[in-house]
Amino acid sequence: MNNIKNLIFGIILGIANVIPGVSGGTMAVILNVYDKILLALSRENLKQNITFLGVLGAGVLIGIFTFSKAITYLFENYYMATNFCFIGLVIGSLPMLYKKAKFNGVQKKNWIPFAFALFFMAALAIIKLMPGASEGVFSVDQLTMLPKLGWFFISAFISTIGMILPGISGSFIMLLLGVYTLTLKAISTFDLIILIPVGLGVLTGGVAGVKLIKTLLRDHPQALYFTIMGLMIGSIFLIFPGFELTLQGVAASLGLLFCAAASYLFSRKN
């Protein structure tokens, strides 16, 4: 039963990771597996968690390769409602996250990383609205083959570290770096020339990102949780699609309320 649950969780994480603006780390927090993943990815815990990580990883791959078209369809046809549902999931998980953050009494100094993270996400939201942001701030087509492959590696490395942090969308970072569309195309056509440097970037970025987060979790846990809260609240600015008082707007609002309630109840149960 646990394996089926972890497979479903992995599929949800995979789906979240292919959507610009939606954070796979946020979804891991909502599903209450974020800490478990970090703890499992250590030398001393890896052996006893190999089944958990394998099933979760298989789900992530299924989510990326199988449901990316369905999510694309929802975003193209029900953009407002889909984004409002993700916002609801974030809002519903915040009480659980705050409860974790204040486990040892709130230290005032930890509001500083919270404010910085919130400001950072608001800045990303402003960048997203700028002309040309949808095409990225850098054109990969300007590069010859070897530098281009190097840029794919660097972009995947940076994006994966961002992906590990709740609130930051790895796919949105790839979009800003100008490699998102080309990477999706490479996945759909199984273009190994691009997928190999991207895969290496994901692996190295994952190792570096997990090590960084685990160090913070060990030495500065409350500061880390407050930072995550700031990133998650700030992600609402990033994925807010605007609002229109139409039938879709009403449906989007109901979706937000339903997803917020479901996320809150789920986090309490876990």
* Predicted confidence (pLDDT) per residue in 49-99, tens digit: 888 888 888 888 888 777 766 766 777 788 888 888 888 877 887 887 788
The whole-chain average pLDDT of the chain stands at 79
Query: Torsions phi, psi of 169, nearest 5?
Result: -90, 115
Which of 17-31, 129-143, 163-177, 212-226 has maximum average pLDDT? 212-226
Tens digits of residue pLDDT in 220-269: 888 888 887 887 788 788 778 888 888 888 989 998 999 888 878 876 76
Q: Where are the domains of the chain?
A: 2-269
**pLDDT tens digits along 2-42:** 788 888 888 888 877 776 556 677 778 777 788 788 778 77
The dihedral over CA atoms of 49, 68, 79, 234, expressed in degrees to the nearest 10, equals 30
How many CB atoms within 10 Å of residue 202?
18
Percent of the chain with pLDDT over 70: 85
Instruction: Tell me 138's DSSP state.
Output: S
- What's the average model confidence in pLDDT over 103-125? 83
pLDDT for res 21: 56
Q: In terms of pTM, does the model score above 0.85? A: no
State the number of CA atoms in the 13 A half-sphere of 181 facing the CB. Answer: 10
Phi, psi of 167 (to 5 degrees): 100, -30
